[in-house]
Amino acid sequence: MRFNSYNMKSVLKYFLGFTLLIISCTNDNSIDKDEEKPSITVNYEQGFPQGCAQLSRGETYSFKAKVTDNKELASYSLNIHHNFDHHTHDDQVTECDLEEIKQAINPLLIIENYAIEGELTSYEINIPITIPNDIDTGDYHCAYSVTDATGWQSRTSIDIKIIE
């Protein structure tokens, strides 16, 4: 090979120096980064609603889910909206029988956010909701979400039915 070995060496030297610089910068463990999402589940005995649950109008239910985080929980939300157009499905194991597609007239809509006070790593969401008597019956979606202090989010959604 006919390349100049002196130049080659200097190039390699630069490259080595550059690599060392990167390695030395990569090993900064000064900041303890939170890389874990919080978790959320209704899959425990008191968890509510369970997949395909049927809720009656006029009744009051406690919506319960367990949330945990490695560091600090921050906020959670509950969203109940109709699925009369079958636009989506839940992430639970069971698959529910859906009614025919229909137009919404006066569907139930719950959009609520809450903060989790104190630096908690586990918490049970507990939201009492009375299903109004004048809302449309049919297929609904119940979606929970939770964030931690870092800004990671987890969600879960459950297919439910509101009946007479």
Partner 1 sequence: MFYKILSVWLFISLYSISYAQNSFQVKGVVVSANTLDPIVGANIIGENLWSISSTNGEFMINNTNKESCSFKVCCLGYACKMVTVRADENKDFIKIYLKQTSTNLDEVQVLAKSKERIQKENPMVSQIVSKEFLEGNRENSLMQTLSKIPGVSTITIGSGQSKPVIRGLGFNRVAVVQNGIKHEAQQWGNDHGLEIDQYGIEHIQIIKGPASLLYGSDAIAGVVNIQPNKIPLQNSFSGEVNLLGESNNDLLGVSAGITSRKDKWFYRGRITYRDYGDYKVPTDKIKYENYIFNLHNNNLRNTAGKEADASIGIGYVSNHIKSETVFSNVNAKNGFFANAHGLEVRTSTIDYDGSSRDIDLPFHKVNHFKITNNTTIEKENHTFYVDVGYQNNQREEHSEPVPHGYMPKPSTTKERLFDKSTYSLNVRDAFEFNNQHHMVLGANLEHQDNHIGGWGFLIPAYHRFTAGVFGYDQFEMNSNLHLLAGFRYDYVWLNTNAYYDWFPSTVANNNGSTSEVYLQRAQNKNLNFKSLSASLGVSYLQNNTTYKINIGRSFRMPLSNELTSNGVNYHMYRYEKGNLNLDAEISYQLDVAIDHTTKYFSVGVSPFVNIFQNYIYLNPTSNYFETLQIYEFTQSKVFRIGGEFKASTSIFKFLQLDASVEYVYSRQTSGAKEGFTLPFAPPLSALFSANYQFKNVFFFKNPQIIASYRITAAQEEIVPPEEKTEGFQVLNMSFLSKVDVFQNNNPIDIRIKLNNIFNTKYFNHTSFYRLIDVPEAGRNLSLSLTMPF
Q: How many CA atoms lie within 13 A of 37 on its CB side?
A: 7
CB of 45 to partner 1, least distance (A): 20
Binding mask 37-56 for partner 1 (x = CB under 8 A): x-------------------
Sign of CA dihedral 101, 103, 109, 111: positive
- Using the minimum distance from each CB to partner 1, give the nearer residue, 31 or 45: 31
Binding mask 17-36 for partner 1 (x = CB under 8 A): -x--xx--xx-x-xxxx-x-
Angstrom CA distances, 144 to 56, 64, 113, 158, stand at 20, 10, 10, 9
- Contacts (CB under 8 A) with partner 1, residues 100-159: 101, 104, 109, 111-113, 115, 143, 145, 147-153, 155-156
Residue choice 55, 65, 67, 78 for contact with partner 1 (CB under 8 A):
78
CA angle 106, 41, 114 (to 5 degrees): 60
Return the DSSP state at 9: H
Q: Does 77 bind partner 1 (CB under 8 A)?
A: yes
Q: Does 7 bind partner 1 (CB under 8 A)?
A: yes
Q: How far apart are CA 164 and CA 149, in angstroms?
A: 41
